[in-house]
Each structure stands twice: as C-alpha cells, then as structure tokens.
Structure 1
Amino acid sequence: MMMNPVLRRETKTTLRSWKMFAILTVYVAIVALGAILFLYGTMFNSYNYSFDPEQMTYMYVVLCAMQMGLMLLAAPAMTAGCISGERERQTLDLLLMTKMSSLSIVIGKLMSSIATLVLIMIATLPVFAIAFYFGGVTIISLLVMMLYIMITTCMACSISIFFSCIFKKTVVSIVVVYLLIGGVFCFGTLIAVFLQQSLHWTMYQTSPSLAFPLTILSANPGVGFFSLIDNQLGTNVASDLFYRYASQNTTINTIVQHYWIVNTVFNIVVSFLFVLLSAHFINPVRNKK
C-alpha cells in the first residue's frame, strides 16, 4: 500500500529536526517532574512521614490528567500551522497543483501531527510504569486511557487543521482553537449546564431532567476523562456532577457510568466532520469546478 506522500515528507522532515527531540525531551521532563513531585509529597507529607502504596492510584490520575492536558495544549500548537504555514511560505499553491486530492492532503497533514503526538505519548510510558510497580492499575486500564486521550487529541488536531485552512495566520488559528476547545467545550458546557439546572430549580422547584446535561456535556473532554477515571478506579467525580440536582434511574445510571464512550463517539464524529470541512475549504477554487 502506497504511503501518503504528504505524510512521508512531513515524517522525514519532522524526525530530522532537532526541534522534535527538544519537544520530546521537555514533554517527558514535565511529566517526570509531575511524578517526582507527587512521590515526594506522598512520601514526605507533614503528618506521619510514611508511604501509603494506595496513593499510587492517585498518581495514575495525576499523570493521566497531565497527559490529557498537555496533549490538548500541544495538538493545536503542532497542527494549527499545517496549512497556514504552507500558505505563509507560499508553498500551498504548489501542493494543491499536484495530483493529490484535497482530502489526501488534509489526511496526510493530520496523520503527520498525530504520529508525532503518538511518539510523544509512547515516550512517557516509562513514567507511568511507576504506578504499576505499586499495583492498583492494570495495563488494560492504561491502554484504554491512552486510546481515549489519543482520540480526543485527534479531535483537537482535526479542528486545528480546519481553522488552519480558514485563517491565513498560524497564530490566529491556534488562538481560535484554544478558545473553542477550552472556552466552549470545557468551560462553556459546564457553565451552560449550571445555568440550566439552576434556572429550572428556581422556576419549578423540581429536579430537572438530565437530557440537557447528557447532551451538551458530550462535548466536554474533561467530563469524559473523569468518567473513564470513575470507571477504572471506582470514584464518583463525573457521576456527582450529573446527580447534583437531578434524580437517578437505571437507564441514566448506565449512561453516566459509561459516559466516556459517549464523549468518544462525539470526538470521532467531530473529527470526521472537520476533516471533510478542511478538505472543502483548503482549495475553494478546485471545489467550484
């Protein structure tokens, strides 16, 4: 099977650059520093100067949260310049003149960014091995978590490429992606749910339906992340968010317990949608013919 030419070129140029190894080193150092600080705080706390192996499950949560946050920060920064960067270097027209379709170009750029981010994630796996040493977390749980983070990262990369096709400047694309993912998906959905639940309780003095929260929070990667953590460790972070005002039933309980799957489906659908939109907007002249 022939490899995508854009993916092949981007992979070669990326791996030959010293910037890639600098980014990899800094990223792993940040994750390792988080693990060291957690171990230090656990072993030398101010109460009894003892070590509790059960605390290693919380280390797993901290490392996964760092991985999730850093990936959502790195994805737009590494992807939002894929198309706008070509435009700034005045090489986009040459790329569009080739026999490759617009969709192939977009997929090549997307897969190049995803491959780089996967490499970075793999490099951090030895740090996660610390949690395995003390038990409490299985390799299956880690693989499922990494897969979920990767799907969420693909969603962020797809959105980044779309805005890279829309805006001429890379900086503008990055800022807009951060505002959409952070301002709308993460915080905007939580604010909307809080306002809806509060207004319903104030007006009707009854428990509101969970239909609105279950729908709008499907876009929130943080809720999906903690739902998966709840599923793996038996905590109740995400479920407490849903049941703060509303009542429970068997169907709702099942959905809430596996809400990370709902968020995963949302991320996959959004990824496909923005890839298709990117292929349409990358070359409006060709699409008009």
Structure 2
Amino acid sequence: MLLGPVFNAEMVANGRRKRYFALRVLFASVLLMCLWLCYSEAIGYNNRTGRLSIEQAANLASSFFWTFAWLTMIAALVVTPAIAAGAIASERERRTIEYLFATDLSNAEIVLSKLAGKLLLVGKLVLVALPVLAIFRLLGGIPGNLLVMYFASLASTVTMLTVGAICISVWTPRARDAIIRVYLVEALVFVLPLFGLGLMGMGAGGTTGWLIGLLRYPVEYFSQINPLVLLTEQTTMNVRGMQVGSLRVWQAIGLQTATSLVLAILAVAAVRRVHLRSVSGGEKETRKTKWLSALRYRPALGEHPMLWKELFARSAATKLGFLGRMSIALLMIAMIAVAIGVYRSIRTTGPGSWDTQGEMYLMSTFIITPVWGVGIAILMGLRAAGLITYEKERDCWLSLISTPLTGQDIIGAKTLGNLYAFRWMFPPLAVVWLLQTTLTPEYFFAIVLHLLAIGISGLFATAVGLSYSLSLSTSLKSIGATMGTLFFVGGGYLFCCCLPMMFGSGDDEIIKIAMIPCVPFLQSVPSFFFFEDLISHEPWMVADYVLGLGAYSVASLVILSSLVTRFEHLAGRSDATASTAAGSFQPPKRFTPPNMDPAD
C-alpha cells in the first residue's frame, strides 16, 4: 500500500501547522486585491460612467487572468521548494529516518507517501485561487482551452518541483542545505536559458564555440521545461491577439511529466542506499574534511572568537553539495562565456568608436549584473536564516549563550561572516566589469555603485534572515519566512500590486514610485547612466536609486540594532546572564546561617 502510515502522519502534521493556513489566507487576500485593482483600473481608465461594455468586461477578465496566471505560477515556484525540500532531509537530520527503515515500509511507500503529502499541501494553495478566478470567469474573455492548458501546465510544474525537491532532499543531510540546493537548481533552470539562448546566437568559434557547444543541450532542455518561458510566450501572444499553439504547451507538459517520473524513480531507488552509505562513510568524510581544512587559510584565534568561528570554521559553511556547486558553475560558465563572446564579437566586427562599442557591450550584457546580484542577495538571506536555528537544532545554542559573549558579538559576527561567505561569487562579475572598462573606462564609477547596491541588498537580506533565525525555532520555518519576505519586499509586490495596473494601462507615476524598493531595478540603475540620454529623459531613476538604497540601509541598521537590543530576551538569557555577558560578573556570596560566625 503506497499511501500508508507515512501519508497519514503527513496529513495529520500538515493539518496542525498554522503557517499553512496563514499562507493560504495570505495568498487568497493577494488575489482578491489583484481582482479589485483590475476592476478599479478598468472602471477608472475605460469608462468614467462606472459601467463596462461587454467588450471591456471581457478585456478586464483577460487582464486579470494573466495577472492571476503569473502570480499563481511564481507563488508555486517560490513556495514549493520551501514546503517539499525538507521531506527527507529533515528526517535524516533528526535521525528519525532510521526508524522508518527499521519498519517493513518499502522505499516506494516512504518516498511516494511524502510526495503525495507535499503535493496535496501545495495543491490546497492552488485550489484557494479557483473561487477568485471563478468570479471573473463569469465576465467571459477567458477561453476554456486556455484555462485547461494553463492549469495542466501549473500541475505539471508543481509536480516536477515537488519531485525534484524530494529527490534533492534524499541526497542532503540537512534541511537548510536542501532548500538552498533546490533554489539553486531552480535558478539554473530559469536563468541559464537567458544566457544560453543569446550565447548560441553568436555562432562564435574557438574557446567560446566550445562553451556554446557545452551549454547547447542543457539550455535547450531547460528552455523546454521552464514554465516561465512558456508563460511569457502565452502572455506575449495574447497581447498580440494570438495564442501559443496547444502542441507547444502539451509538449512542455509531457517533458515535465517525464522528468518528474525519472526523478521519482531515482529518489525511490536511492533513499535507503544514500543514507546508509553516508552513515557508514563517516571516516572517509573525516579524512576528506581534514584534507580540505589543510588547504584553507586560518589565522590565529585573536580577540574575537565568535567572528573567527563565523569566518573560518567549516561547520558554519553551507554545504551546497555536488548539485549546488554544479548549478553555480554552469551559471558562471554561461555568464563569462556570454561576456567574452559579446566582447570578441564587438571588437572584431563592431564599429570603430569606443563609446559605441562600450554601449553595445553594455546592452548585450546588461541583464547579467542584476540577475547575479539578486542571486547573491537571496543566497545571503537563505544562509543567514539558518545560522542561529542550526545552532539550536544541534543543541549548541545553549552553550553559546552561556558564554560571556554579548548579543553584539554574536549578531555582529554572524552578519560579517555571512557577507564574507559569498566573496567567491564576485569573480564572474569582475570579469564582466573588467571587459566593460576596457571599452568604457569611466564605467569604473558604475562598478562602485553596483557593489554598493549588491552590498546593501545583501546586508538587508542578512538582517532579515538573522531576525527570523533568532525568533523561530527551526531552519525550515526561518528559511520559508525569509524567502517570502525577501521575494515580496524585493520586487514580488509588483506582481500583486502593479502588474494589474500594467495590464490595465495604469498611471506611470505609480509605477515609478513602486520601483523604489525593487532590488533588480536598483541593481540595474548604475548601468543606465551609460545609455545615451536615458537618465536625462528619466531623472526619476536616480531619485529611486538613492531613495531605495537609503531605505534598505536604514531598514538593515534598524533590524540589526533591534536584534542586538532585544538579544537577551529573544535568546532566553536572564538579566543576570546579561550582566555576566557585559563583563560585570560577581561571584556569589558565601551563605552564612544565622547566629554563626563567618570565620567558622
């Protein structure tokens, strides 16, 4: 019986968790707000009398549907890894998976029961949206075949994400690392086609041609299973009054389903073998760790032991694993290959003017910096979200707060250590920027502004992650809350607030104001300075850049200061412990019974 006691336990546990109810209520509220915005825009822009014609009502329903489609798909992409990635990894981390292996349950019963439980949990989130969509379905303007294809595509996407997350969870011993690895693979699937499709269009030879050939097949495959590529095609064709062919949609659904089936078989076959091999291979892993530690630079402990631990201790590192490292490596290769390919093409066939060459290179590589910068900020937030909860889960937290270290020492060290941990992600950007400076030397000032934007957004993500990590009890809760906060604050609000206005031809001034907290926009603005006449015609970009970075700087300092101020309360230390941590420790006085000489 595939859906046995594990499935029943999953259903009982999921039904008792309040955060899933809160998530569904939040999602339904956002959809209702989108519905209201679409209706308000249609009433205010199309007809001052407050009434809509049949054609206007159909256009209103169509615009809401595409807003609904994007919002639902992106919510599934963001929420599903946080829900499903810890299915097996959390069992391994708590060492409860060994109890499952000791029963007569088969691998298929364990994995497929977990899979069914997580799919139903994500499915409930999608079902919440149906009553909201049914309201606008009455207005017409939404073809029935389009609804069927979209929900089939959504179902296959959610299934593929859930199965993929569980498959990665099988090979990951910690839930925190499993979630980060799943998001890295998502980034590979969604971002690599952006770099690869442009790279394959160059047709370059030599080293660049070899890199193009290396990336050709994964780029084509990821483009086929990428739901955002398909949804973009559908939205674009709808705006032009056409529809994407049903064959294209069903091919993508079939490929996603086949991928899910392969990953499910792989997870079922490996779940027991992987864990037993990891348990029995402890000595080998220890030798490997010692070998790697010998290559790492470690200064003396010094006067700041907490900072030394966060910067140089291996236990504080996030273990990306082979899949995570491969995902980042492929993205780095694609990014550098695009930059080198564009640079060689411009230098050999481009115009003679250095300014024009620099502008052509910047236009071709413009998307690299914001995409990579946003990725750095998200990874900083996800890692920070597990820095304190991981101490709690390993029973190290009580030992840590029992030391004389103050809240400022602990929070400051974890903040600086988290920022330092991602230094290895900047060399690819340095290559892209260095090539730009050879064509446009004054671009050096834009590099400084880019680093400022990445640093401030990374500091804000770290502050948010540490805040949740200190307040919540588990890494799964902390990472989920951090990811949701960063996604919404950093630009996700555009999909639920401003996307209806875009489809409804809303006021541009509202969009300009709404771009102030948008992290991808803030990380793109320094490059805008080098597009001819762009800033002179759009001065609001400079104002948004200054206001946005200023707001994130203030928010980061406020959050970190609040964590330091309230650390004793949040960490559970008493006032006596706090005074001890401040260095005012006094030894207890000797107890003297009444009517007794202290000398006795």
TM range, smaller chain? 0.7 to 0.9
Q: Which residue of 2 aligns with 1:280?
A: 269
For the Cα contact (< 8 Å) 1:161–1:278, is it kept in 2?
yes
The 3 A distance-change label for structure 1 pair 132 and 78 is same
- Find the aligned partners of 2:42 and 2:227 in 1 and give their Cα distance: 28
The 3 A distance-change label for structure 1 pair 40 and 169 is farther
Query: In structure 1, the residue corresponding to 2:173 is in which secondary structure?
Result: coil
Q: Which residue of 2 aligns with 1:252?
A: none
Question: Shift in Å at residue 198 of structure 1?
Answer: 3.2
Q: Please state if 1:189 is matched with 2:193.
A: yes
For the Cα contact (< 8 Å) 2:164–2:260, is it kept in 1?
yes
Runs (5+) with no aligned partner, structure 1? 201-210, 239-255
Letter aligned with residue 224 of structure 1: L
Q: Please state if 1:10 is matched with 2:10.
A: yes
- Find the aligned partners of 1:235 and 1:185 in 2 and give their Cα distance: 29
- Find the aligned partners of 2:113 and 2:222 in 1 and give their Cα distance: 31
For the Cα contact (< 8 Å) 1:225–1:260, is it kept in 2?
no
Question: Shift in Å at residue 48 of structure 1?
Answer: 6.2
Query: In structure 1, the residue corresponding to 2:202 is in which secondary structure?
Result: helix
Q: Which residue of 2 aligns with 1:246?
A: none
Letter aligned with residue 14 of structure 1: N
Q: Please state if 1:86 is matched with 2:91.
A: yes
Q: Which residue of 2 aligns with 1:20?
A: 20
Q: Please state if 1:217 is matched with 2:206.
A: no
Q: Which residue of 2 aligns with 1:264?
A: 253
The 3 A distance-change label for structure 1 pair 235 and 149 is farther
The answer to which of 74-83 and 160-169 deviates more is: 160-169
- Find the aligned partners of 1:91 and 1:216 in 2 and give their Cα distance: 35
- Find the aligned partners of 1:124 and 1:29 in 2 and give their Cα distance: 10
Q: Please state if 1:198 is matched with 2:202.
A: yes
Residue by residue, what CA displacement relative to the aligned partner does 1:196-221 show, whole Å, maximum 9, x if unpaired? Answer: 11337xxxxxxxxxx97765521221
The 3 A distance-change label for structure 1 pair 285 and 214 is closer
Question: Shift in Å at residue 24 of structure 1?
Answer: 1.5
1:1-289 aligned within 5 A = 3-45=3-45, 49=48, 51=52, 52-53=56-57, 54-181=59-186, 183-199=187-203, 216-227=222-233, 235=241, 258-284=247-273
- Find the aligned partners of 2:221 and 2:271 in 1 and give their Cα distance: 31
Residue by residue, what CA displacement relative to the aligned partner does 1:251-273 show, whole Å, maximum 9, x if unpaired? Answer: xxxxx662222211221111112
For the Cα contact (< 8 Å) 1:151–1:264, is it kept in 2?
yes
Letter aligned with residue 256 of structure 2: N
Relative CO higher for 1 or 2, CA cutoff 8 Å, sep ≥ 6?
1
The 3 A distance-change label for structure 1 pair 220 and 258 is same
- Find the aligned partners of 1:48 and 1:132 in 2 and give their Cα distance: 21
Higher Cα Rg: structure 1 or 2? Answer: 2
Identity, % of aligned pairs?
20
Residue by residue, what CA displacement relative to the aligned partner does 1:38-63 show, whole Å, maximum 9, x if unpaired? Answer: 22233224x86475322321210110
The 3 A distance-change label for structure 1 pair 231 and 268 is farther
Letter aligned with residue 30 of structure 2: I
Two-structure CA RMSD over aligned residues (Å): 3.0
- Find the aligned partners of 1:260 and 1:230 in 2 and give their Cα distance: 14
For the Cα contact (< 8 Å) 1:231–1:257, is it kept in 2?
no
Query: In structure 1, the residue corresponding to 2:81 is in which secondary structure?
Result: helix
What is the TM-score of this pair, normalised by structure 2? 0.40
Residue by residue, what CA displacement relative to the aligned partner does 1:167-201 show, whole Å, maximum 9, x if unpaired? Answer: 122122112111212x221121132112111337x
